[in-house]
Structure 1
Amino acid sequence: MIAYSRSIRGIERTEAYARTHPVNRYAAYPLTAFEQTPIAGTQGNRKKKEEAASQGVYSWLREAGQGQKLLGELLEKLGRHNGVASKEQLENSVHTLVDAMNRWESAYQSREQLLRPEIWEAMTLAMRHPAMELLGIKRGGQEVGRRLVWDPAILPQNPNMEEVNTLRRVLLGSEGLLMDLKRALSYAEQYTPMQLLRQPFIHMYPYVLYYGAAQAYHPLPPRGLIMNKTV
């Protein structure tokens, strides 16, 4: 029995099979060459993006404020005695309104990547007002870039009292086109500037990717890969 026991080989230390290495507190392997891609200037780029976003928000708020002022002037102008009944005055006001709506749309589209879509959805809903068709305002074709166009021939040449009252109601009433547009332009004022910013999916991409990989038992991407790709 004694001879048999002595033939058993002693237990070797672990380092005899695989050399031990110190690890950092995250137990991560050294970064690969790809992961070590320099990202110098990240802070500066982020700051520039934040400044551009804030400028986009404030420029839209300024545009919306000027639009509300213009609509207030149109309400006052057309609300005067014979304001709607005057063909020349009505045509000038509608022409000004169509130009303003196209300008607001272009202003939002130039900042569409920064601003929340709800801002323009409120305007789109206001532009579906029945007064648009009554005044002859519609969306043009591709030749005009899908901008709003106006056909002045739709307006009555010599409106009678009933037609004047109808125009006054659909334009100047509390539920009229001008008031609906004014309320839509004031939508952005209900929130702080930071709340008006669109939150791009790319900001959530690292969390979604890592969480999804963990749930699906897929290999996680190398550390640093997501940041180098998204910043």
Structure 2
Amino acid sequence: MPLSVAGAFHTPYMASAREELEGLVDGLRPADPSRLLLSNSDGAAVSTGAEAVRRLVSQITSPVRFDACLATLRDLGVTAVIELPPAGALAGLAKREWKGAGVEILTLSGPADLDRARELIAAERGRAEAEHLPDWRVVVAPARGTVSPAEVAEGTRLPAGSPLGCIRGRREEVNVSAAYDGVLAEWLVQEGDLVDAGDPIARLYPEVSA
């Protein structure tokens, strides 16, 4: 069936554009995400800037899997989402996917929605401040698959970017690395364990400058 579309985006017909972009991004050194970033290709968490760029390029010829992002967010226990303008399309998908899940979905369509958006953000900050914040941080799996931890002993100092292993899924293998300088406190998985995106795999004590 012929489809009336502006372009064959996210299909193999965009291969020439992908090849051209691959040549343009070579040598880029983007910063790592400061917030949890999910990939539209499979819903996996992206922990490094280099991985984000790689996925942006590959998605030129790959389908958009927003449903996978919604599944990851549900597994992470989100309680509310805000869609920025132009809003409506993604919120509609989320409402169908999360029907009955108790997640508040706000479409930011105009000034009248700003007050409720501020309330949601303030409520989330209040919950975070009320919780006990541990002096260690958790490294989570960026995708679903079988984990293969790196041969790093607990107590080892790890500079930011140090490899911590990989997650082998059905379609690809995703590397895991430390997002900051720290000390490996504890492995939470073993070789061959099956994990979902967002599952904890290790604990690190972040290094604090004197």
Q: Under a length normalisation based on structure 1, what TM-score does the superposition of the two structures give?
A: 0.24
Which of the pair has the greater relative contact order for Cα pairs under 8 Å at 6+ separation? 1
Structure showing greater radius of gyration is 1
Structure with a larger share of its residues in strand: 2
